[in-house]
């Protein structure tokens, strides 16, 4: 019983530490949003790495998502003879749920691991400490540009995924059901789907992007007293990066050189 209580207490502390770290991070980023303190060059570089280089992955995923939605709806549509509603059936699930969810999953996995390796290496090699020594804000220079870039990337990639998924669904419905693309898109825009359905998916993409960006900047496990490589490995598996807080960083194979003691004589010791 005691062991169970101790385990529950540890899990509760870990959860509280993770939630608290994310709340503190959001507060620090909100303070830097106005006046904007994000580094422009770093923001452009992050947008290129997250959005442009993720476009092939989003294209392939979205095309197959649209095709699979039609494949799943085809038997039901045939049984009722309602081929004209296949556009609505594919568009409703794609625009509201599937496209933002799978786009966030693909980009979070790719960008999260990349950010983990990048920021984790900066922590281990003490580049974060070097930025502080140079009076450069690590949050404004490193964290905020990546946060904004990931949110903007998921929003834009969700728009692309919606269009490409509908294109893939239209092509698949023509091959499987003989429904012309004009009839397919007439079912999409015939009044059954509205702006609220599209906006719902876009709002979810912003929420997913902010959640992935927050998780990518705070690693709630393992505890900060553990070595930085272990924290980086744990964060990688959950698409997160190492925490920017200082922690003991043992360096095997590299003995720590101490400064020679000052001589107590007339001349100074050679250092």
Q: pLDDT by residue (tens digit) across 244-255? A: 443 344 444 444
Is this prediction's pTM over 0.75?
no
Q: Determine if the peptide bond prior to 227 is cis (ω within 30°).
A: no
- Residue 111 structure tokens: 């960008």
Query: What pLDDT, in 10s, does the model give residues 62-98?
Result: 999 999 988 888 888 888 877 778 888 888 888 888 8
Which residue is associated with the tokens 């799943």?
72
Sorted by sequence, the CB contacts under 8 Å of residue 132 that are 6+ apart come out as 138
**What pLDDT does residue 191 have?**
65
Q: In b/e form, how buried is each residue of 135-168, taking b as 16+ CB within 10 angstroms?
A: eeebbbbbbbbbbbbbbbbbbbbbbbbbebbbbb
Query: What pLDDT, in 10s, does the model give residues 118-138?
Result: 877 888 888 888 888 888 888
What does the pLDDT average to over 135-161? 88
**What pLDDT does residue 247 have?**
39
* Whether pLDDT at 24 is above 90: no
- Residue 213 structure tokens: 């960006």
- Residue 35 structure tokens: 């006046």
**What pLDDT does residue 239 have?**
41
Torsions phi, psi of 3, nearest 5? -65, -40
């Amino acid at each position: 019983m005691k062991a169970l209580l101790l385990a529950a207490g540890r899990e509760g502390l870990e959860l509280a530490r993770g939630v608290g770290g994310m709340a503190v991070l959001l507060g620090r980023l909100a303070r830097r949003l106005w006046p904007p303190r994000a580094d422009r060059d770093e923001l452009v570089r992050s947008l290129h790495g997250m959005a442009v280089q993720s476009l092939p992955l989003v294209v392939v995923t979205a095309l197959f998502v649209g095709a699979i939605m039609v494949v799943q709806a085809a038997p039901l549509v045939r049984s009722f003879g309602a081929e004209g509603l296949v556009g609505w059936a594919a568009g409703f699930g794609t625009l509201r749920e599937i496209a933002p969810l799978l786009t966030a999953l693909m980009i979070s996995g790719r960008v999260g691991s990349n950010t983990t390796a990048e920021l984790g290496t900066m922590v281990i090699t003490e580049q974060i400490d070097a930025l502080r020594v140079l009076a450069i804000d690590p949050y404004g220079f490193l964290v905020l540009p990546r946060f904004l870039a990931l949110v903007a990337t998921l929003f834009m990639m969700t728009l692309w995924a919606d269009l490409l998924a509908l294109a893939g669904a239209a092509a698949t419905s023509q091959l499987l059901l003989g429904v012309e693309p004009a009839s397919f898109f007439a079912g999409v825009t015939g009044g059954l789907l509205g702006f609220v359905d599209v906006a719902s998916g876009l709002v979810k993409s912003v929420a997913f992007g902010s959640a992935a960006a927050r998780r990518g900047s705070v690693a709630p496990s393992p505890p900060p007293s553990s070595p930085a490589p272990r924290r980086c490995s744990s964060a990688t598996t959950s698409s997160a990066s190492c925490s920017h807080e200082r922690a003991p960083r043992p360096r095997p194979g590299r003995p720590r050189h101490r400064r020679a003691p000052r001589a107590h004589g007339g001349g100074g010791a050679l250092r």
